Structure 1
Amino acid sequence: MIAEQVQADARLLWDYHQMGHAVRPCSVAIGLGSHDLGVADTAVELFKRGLVPVLLFTGATSPTSRGRMPRGEAVHYRERALELGVPSTAVLVEPNARNTGENIRFSRQVLEDAGVTVSSVLLVSKPYEERRAYATACKLWPAVEFVSASTPMTFEQYVDSIQDVHLVIDMLVGALQRLLIYPAQGFMISQSVPPDVMDAYERLCREGFTSRLITADSSTR
C-alpha cells in the first residue's frame, strides 16, 4: 500500500514531466526506445493521423527492456508498427542507442543518411520522459523544433499498465534528478523546477524511491 502523501508527490512529478505540447505536423516522429510498447503505438497513431510521413524508432536494450524486447527496443517498435499497418518504407530503425543523448545523436545521423530533411520532430516517449527527452533534444539538435508527445494517461493508469507502482515512482524520481544535474554537464538545456515539485522529489527520495538515481561516476544518460 502506497501512502497518500507518496501518491500525491508522485502525481506532482508525473504532471511536471509532461510538456503539454499540442501535436502538429512535423518532418518525422522519433520514438524513443524503452520497455513500453505504448511509445510505438502512439507514434503509429500520429502517423495514421497524417502528422508525419516517416517514423524512426531508436534504442538498443536496457536492464528494464531486455526481457521483453530481446531483439532490441527499436526493432520491436518497428515490428509493432508493421503489425499496426504502417508500410515498411515509412519506418526507419536506429538500433544502437543506449541513452537519451545517443537516441538523439544517432537518430539525427540515420535521418541524414536516409536523405530526410528535418525541420521539426514529434518526439515520442513514455509520459514521464517527455521533459527529459525534450531538454536533451533541444541541447543536441538546436536547429530543429521539437514537439513532445506521449500516450495520454494519468499516473494511476500508467501504474495499472506497468503493475509496479514502486518502479514507476523510482522512474519519476530518477528522471527529475537528471533534469537537475545534467544541464551543468552539458547533456540538456536547463528548465525551471517549481518549488512544490522539488519538495515532492525530496520527500520521495527520503521515502526510499532511489533505485533510478545515478551516482557521480555514472555515465548513463
Structure 2
Amino acid sequence: MISPQAWADARRLWGYHQMGHTVRPCSVAVGLGSHDLGVADTAVSLYERGMVPLLVFTGANSPTTRERMPRGEAVHYRERAFELGVPSSAVLVEPQARNTGENIRFSRALLEESGVNVSSVLLISKPYEERRAYATARKLWPEVEFVSASTPMTFEEYLDSIGDPRLVIDMLVGALQRLLIYPDQGFMIRQAIPEDVMAAYDRLRGSGFTSRIVPDSAATRP
C-alpha cells in the first residue's frame, strides 16, 4: 500500500524532473533510447510540426530493453519513425550508447562526422528523465542550446502506461539521486533542488523506494 504522503511526494518529484521548456525550432532532435517507444513518437511529432529537419536516435540495449528491442533501442526507434512516415534521409542512428553520457557524446560525434551544423538540440527523453538528460547534455556539450521535451502526459497517465506504481516511484527517486551525486563525478551540471523536493525525496527513500538508486553512494544534500 502506497500512503497518501508517498503519492504527494512522488507527484512533487515528477513535476521537478520535467523542465517545462517551450518547444521551438532547433537544428536537430536527439531521442534518447529507452524502453519507451513514446520517445520516438514524440520525435516524429516534432519533426512533422517542422520543429527539426533531422532526427537522431541513440541507444544500444540494457537489461530492461534487450527482449523488447532485440535490435537495439535506436534501431527500433528508427523503425518506428519509418512506420510513421519519416523519410530515411531525415533519420540518423547511433546504436552504441549505453548510458545518458554516451547518448550525448556519441550523438555529437555522429553529427560532426555527418557534417551537420548544430546550434540547438531538442532533447527528447522519458518524462521523468528530462532534467537528468538536460543536466548531462549541458555538461558534455556546453556550446549548444538544449530544449527539453517528452511525451506530454500526466503523472497518472504515466503510471497507467507502466502499470507498476512502485517501480515508477523508485525511478523518480533514482533519477533525483543522480542529480545529487553525478555533478561531483563530472557527469552533469549541478542544478538547484528546492527544499520541498529534497524533503519529498528523503521521505520516499526512507519509506523504501530504493530499487533504482545507485548503491554504495552518499546520496545526500550537495
Whether TM-score is above 0.5 comes out as: yes
Counting only pairs closer than 5 Å after superposition, residues 58-97 of structure 1 correspond to structure 2 as 58-97=58-97
In 2, the alpha carbon distance for the partners of 1:60 and 1:209 equals 27
In 1, the alpha carbon distance for the partners of 2:130 and 2:174 equals 13
1:131-188 deviation digits (Å, cap 9, x = unpaired): 0000000000000000000011111100101111111111100000000011111110
Shift in Å, 1:215: 2.4
Counting only pairs closer than 5 Å after superposition, residues 32-43 of structure 1 correspond to structure 2 as 32-43=32-43
Counting only pairs closer than 5 Å after superposition, residues 74-153 of structure 1 correspond to structure 2 as 74-153=74-153
TM-score by length of 1: 0.96
In 2, the alpha carbon distance for the partners of 1:66 and 1:4 equals 35
Counting only pairs closer than 5 Å after superposition, residues 21-40 of structure 1 correspond to structure 2 as 21-40=21-40
In 1, the alpha carbon distance for the partners of 2:34 and 2:62 equals 8
1:8-27 deviation digits (Å, cap 9, x = unpaired): 11000000000000000000
* Residue range with higher mean Cα deviation, 59-68 or 193-202: 59-68
For residue 147 of structure 2, give the secondary structure of its aligned residue in structure 1.
Answer: strand
Who is 1:186 aligned against?
186
Query: Could you tell me the percent identity over the aligned residues?
Result: 78
Instruction: State the one-letter code of the partner of 1:63.
Output: P
In 1, the alpha carbon distance for the partners of 2:29 and 2:185 equals 27
CA-based RMSD of the aligned residues comes to 0.9
Counting only pairs closer than 5 Å after superposition, residues 168-183 of structure 1 correspond to structure 2 as 168-183=168-183
1:88-133 deviation digits (Å, cap 9, x = unpaired): 1100000010000000000001111111110000000000000000
Shift in Å, 1:2: 2.2
In 1, the alpha carbon distance for the partners of 2:205 and 2:72 equals 31
For residue 53 of structure 2, give the secondary structure of its aligned residue in structure 1.
Answer: coil
Who is 2:47 aligned against?
47
Who is 1:16 aligned against?
16
1:167-216 deviation digits (Å, cap 9, x = unpaired): 11111000000000111111100001011111111111111111111124
Instruction: State the one-letter code of the partner of 1:126.
Output: K
TM-score by length of 2: 0.96
In 2, the alpha carbon distance for the partners of 1:207 and 1:40 equals 34
Deviating runs (4+, > 4 A) in structure 1?
A: none
Number of residue pairs the alignment of both structures matches: 217
For residue 101 of structure 2, give the secondary structure of its aligned residue in structure 1.
Answer: helix
For residue 135 of structure 1, give the secondary structure of its aligned residue in structure 2.
Answer: helix
Any unmatched runs of 5+ in structure 1?
none
Who is 2:220 aligned against?
none
